[in-house]
Amino acid sequence: MHTDLKFMTVMQWMSPAFPIGAFAYSHGLEWAIDKGHVSNGKKLQNWITDLLEYGSLRTDAIFISLILRGYDAKKMNELSIALCPAGERLLETKLQGSAFAKVIEDVWKQDIGELSLPIAVAWLQKSEY
């Protein structure tokens, strides 16, 4: 079991139970399950892999990587917002980013401002809260 506090904190941030409304956004997974496209573990793995290789998770992962390498968070946030392919995705990343910022301020007393979710998570990890 991994017991490093920083690692465990980041895993807590990524948990579906972290109070940022992640349960409300599934990238169509419920629909895919309902239609039988995702019906077992292997198909779920393929679904998630596709999101990471071709979908919004890829973009999020790229931005997280850039922030962790020292790119300017404000500029990357502007780009991440501009690259949202649809209004729903824009709303998702902004609302979750705002909710994440509120929890971080309430619990960790860090004001991270208004950032999209991937930028907020990466910036906070980079800053070592």
13-22: pLDDT as tens digits: 988 889 988 7
Q: pLDDT confidence of 129, banded at 50, 70, 90? A: low
pLDDT mean across residues, the chain: 91
Is the model's pLDDT at 96 over the cut of 90?
yes
Phi, psi for residue 112 in degrees, rounded to 5? -100, 0
26-77: pLDDT as tens digits: 888 889 999 999 999 999 999 999 999 999 999 999 999 999 999 999 999 9
The identity of residue 62, as a single letter, is I
